[in-house]
Amino acid sequence: MTQKFILIKVRKAANPNVNEELQWLGNSLGLFNLRDKDSSCFRVFITFVRNAKTNTALSSDEIAEKLRLSRATVIHHLDKLMDAGIVVKDRQRYILRENSLQTLVKDLQQDMEAFFSELREVAKEIDEQLG
C-alpha cells in the first residue's frame, strides 16, 4: 500500500465556523488546491464526513449524482483521498477510513509515526554502512 503524506501549515481563522474548520483541516492535509475552482474535492470530502456517522459507503456514481459532478471528476478526487489514506475502497464503494474525524487524524498520525520510524531505521543502517 502506498500512502502520500502532505502537511501544510495553514493559518486557522479566528472564530471559524464548522465549514471553515473542515476547509482548514482539508487544506492542512493538502487535499484541496487552487485549481479546484468549484470546490469539488471539498464537496466530495464533506460527503464522506457526513456519511461517516452512519458508516455508509458510496459508489462513485452516487457521489457524482448527489454532487452534480462528472464521474471522472469524482474518481480523480477519490484517488487523491485514497492516496492520502482518508478514504478506503470496499468492493465498488468508498467510505471514510474512520467514522470520526478525530479518529481519522489519530490514525494518520500513527501512519506517519510508523513511516518516520522506518525512515530513521534505514538512515541508521545507511550511516553504519558508510562508517
State pLDDT tens for residues 96-113. Answer: 999 999 999 999 999 999
> Is the pLDDT confidence value at 65 over 90?
yes
The answer to whether position 68 is within a domain reads: yes
The answer to whether position 70 is within a domain reads: yes
Over the stretch 40-49, which tens digit does the pLDDT of each residue have? 999 999 999 9
Collapsing DSSP to helix, strand or coil, 74 comes out as helix
> Residue 49's domain spans which residues?
18-130
Report the CATH number at residue 96. 1.10.10.10
The answer to whether position 72 is within a domain reads: yes
In whole angstroms, what is the distance from residue 51 CA to residue 99 CA? 8
Within 8 A by CB and 6+ apart from 104, the residues are 86, 96, 97, 98
pTM of the model: 0.87
Q: What is the pLDDT of residue 1?
A: 67
The answer to whether position 12 is within a domain reads: no
* Domain count across the chain: 1
The answer to whether position 50 is within a domain reads: yes
11-17 mean pLDDT? 89
The answer to whether position 13 is within a domain reads: no
